[in-house]
């Protein structure tokens, strides 16, 4: 659906060159919700603006739905951009227009007949839950309502792709969750591909299928959210995971005196999160254990759990117990031997 191939962006100022993006390669599949996470200055906004060519790459190619965007004339590019909607952190609504007029604005630019404009606006007001606010002005709306208008306006021309530039950063946590739920519902209902950038791992964890971690204009890690979240490889990724993952970097309490014990971190994914896999395995192996720390949560709709467990076993007995756990599909990481 979306391919970024060898994208680099170099800015020049006063004879100095600054690389905002370096050799970016991404493939985003149709219907996915793809997250791009990074700290301020990592190049997130620059990257997402390359997808609709609001920023043109210094080198590289942008292909959207089979169309090489970088090879288009200005007129053709304007036409292709109608298939790419975009919502912004600060809403960018026209203050002098009502809600329904803001939503209708791109349709009027496209010179659609008035009856089609009215029908489409009514449909979108229902989709984002703002039927009762059709005649309100932006100044009369809450932040969450403004963003719903922004989403409806971005969807007006029935795009194939929706770009979200820090769409929830200006919202409180409760409103953020309602907007994320709306984006997830839109993705399911319309099968629209969504690309969002954020600096919050909670956003990625809530609705994304895949994620790329950006640091200094370079993608340092990419993969399925479950893989990246539960097994972060890069330091920057581990920093983001630590925002929401209780067990990633915490010091685990417990008896640290020498003895025949092995401390492990066990990760459960899917329905096994709620099954007595640990108890059954330990009973079969006849190994006493103690749970030192644990959490259960969700990655999008996938349940997962992480436990730090102290096995009262060492050496060959511990190795056999770990192998038994792994044979049941659990991920087991040895933390310490004592």
Tens digits of per-residue pLDDT, 264-293?
A: 999 998 888 889 999 999 999 999 999 998
Specify the pTM: 0.86
Q: Does residue 223 sit in helix, strand or coil? A: strand
Q: Please, are residues 128 and 152 in contact by the beta-carbon 8 Å criterion?
A: yes
Closest CA to 232 of 291, 156, 263, 240: 240
Does residue 160 register a pLDDT over 90? yes
Query: Could you tell me which residue, 131 or 89, shows the higher pLDDT?
Result: 131
How much is the average pLDDT of 248-275? Answer: 71
Give the pLDDT confidence score for residue 249 in this predicted structure: 47
Q: 21 and 46 in contact (C-beta within 8 Å)? A: yes
Q: Which segments of the chain belong to CATH 3.30.70.260? A: 262-337
Q: Please check whether residue 35 is in contact with residue 222, taking contact to mean a CB–CB distance below 8 angstroms.
A: no
CATH superfamily of 262-337: ACT domain (3.30.70.260)
Instruction: Give the pair of three-digit tokens for residue 242.
Output: 């630590």
Distance of CA 228 to the CA centre of its chain: 11
**The pLDDT of residue 250 is above 50:** no
The full length of the chain comes to: 338
Residue 172 has pLDDT above 70, yes or no: yes
Q: Report, in angstroms and rounded to the nearest whole number, the Rg of the chain calculated over CA atoms.
A: 24
Helix (H), strand (E), coil (C) string for 67-126 = EEHHHCCHHHHHHHHCCEEEEECCCCCCCCCCHHHHHHHHHHHCCCCHHHHHHHHHHHHH
Average pLDDT, rounded, for the chain: 91
Q: Where are the beta strands (DSSP E) in 120-207?
A: 161-165, 193-198
Residue 296 has pLDDT above 90, yes or no: no
Helix 99-109 × helix 114-128 angle, to 10°? 130
* Percentage of residues in the chain having pLDDT higher than 70: 95
Give pLDDT, residue 259. 55
Could you report the per-residue pLDDT of 17-41, keeping only the tens digit for each?
Answer: 999 999 999 999 999 999 999 999 9
Give the model's pLDDT for residue 242. 83
| CA neighbor of 190 nearest in space, from 148, 158, 165, 145 | 158
Among 137-146, 193-202, 226-235, which stretch is predicted with the lowest mean pLDDT?
Answer: 226-235
Strands (E), 203-271: 210-215, 218-224, 262-269
Class of domain 2-241: alpha beta
pLDDT score at 41 = 92
Listed in order, the ranges of the chain carrying CATH 3.40.50.300 are: 2-241
Per the CB < 8 A criterion, the answer to whether 59 and 23 are in contact is no
Q: Percentage of the chain surpassing pLDDT 90?
A: 79
**Nearest 5°: phi and psi at 46?**
-60, -45
Best-predicted range by mean pLDDT among 19-28, 168-177, 294-303?
19-28
pLDDT confidence tier of residue 257, bands split at 50, 70 and 90? very low
Question: 228: phi > 0 → left, psi -120 to 50 → alpha, else beta; which?
Answer: alpha
Longest dimension (CA), the chain: 80
pLDDT per residue over 39-95, tens digit each? 999 999 999 999 999 999 999 999 999 999 999 999 999 999 999 999 998 899 999
In this predicted structure, which of 23-37, 123-137, 256-270 has the lowest mean pLDDT? 256-270
The pLDDT score that the predictor gives to residue 338 is: 62
Q: What distance in Å separates the CA atoms of residue 249 and residue 241, rounded to the nearest whole number?
A: 9
Q: Tell me the pLDDT band of 256, cut-offs 50, 70 and 90.
A: very low
The pLDDT-based confidence of 314 (bands split at 50, 70, 90) is confident
Residues 336 and 338: their CA atoms lie apart, in Å, by 6
């Amino acid at each position: 659906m979306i391919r970024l191939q060898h994208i680099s962006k170099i800015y020049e100022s006063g004879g100095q060159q600054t690389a905002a993006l370096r050799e970016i390669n991404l493939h985003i599949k149709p219907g996915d919700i793809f997250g791009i996470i990074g700290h301020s200055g990592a190049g997130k906004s620059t990257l997402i603006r390359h997808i609709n060519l609001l920023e043109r790459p210094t080198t590289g190619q942008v292909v959207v739905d089979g169309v090489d965007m970088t090879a288009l004339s200005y007129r053709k590019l304007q036409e292709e951009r109608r298939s790419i909607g975009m919502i912004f952190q600060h809403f960018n609504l026209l203050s002098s227009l009502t809600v329904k007029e803001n939503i209708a604005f791109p349709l009027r630019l496209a010179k659609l007949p008035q009856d089609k404009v009215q029908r489409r606006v009514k449909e979108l007001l229902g989709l984002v839950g703002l039927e009762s606010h059709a005649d309100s002005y932006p100044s009369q709306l809450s932040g969450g309502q403004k963003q719903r208008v922004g989403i409806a306006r971005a969807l007006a021309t029935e795009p194939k792709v929706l770009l979200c530039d820090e769409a929830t950063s200006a919202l409180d946590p409760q409103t953020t969750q309602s907007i994320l739920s709306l984006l997830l519902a839109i993705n399911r209902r319309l099968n629209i591909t969504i690309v969002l950038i954020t600096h919050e791992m909670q956003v990625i964890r809530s609705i994304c299928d895949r994620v790329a971690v950006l640091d200094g204009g370079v993608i340092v890690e990419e993969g399925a959210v479950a893989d990246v979240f539960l097994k972060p490889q890069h330091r920057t990724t581990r920093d983001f995971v630590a925002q929401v993952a209780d067990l990633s970097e915490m010091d685990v309490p417990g008896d640290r005196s020498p003895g025949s014990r092995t401390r492990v971190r066990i990760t459960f994914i899917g329905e096994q999160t709620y099954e007595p896999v640990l108890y059954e395995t330990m009973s079969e192996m006849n190994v006493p254990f103690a749970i030192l720390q644990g959490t259960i949560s969700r990655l999008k709709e996938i349940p997962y759990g992480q436990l730090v467990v102290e096995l009262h076993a060492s050496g060959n007995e511990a190795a056999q117990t770990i192998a038994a756990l792994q044979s049941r599909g659990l991920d087991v990481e040895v933390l310490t031997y004592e």
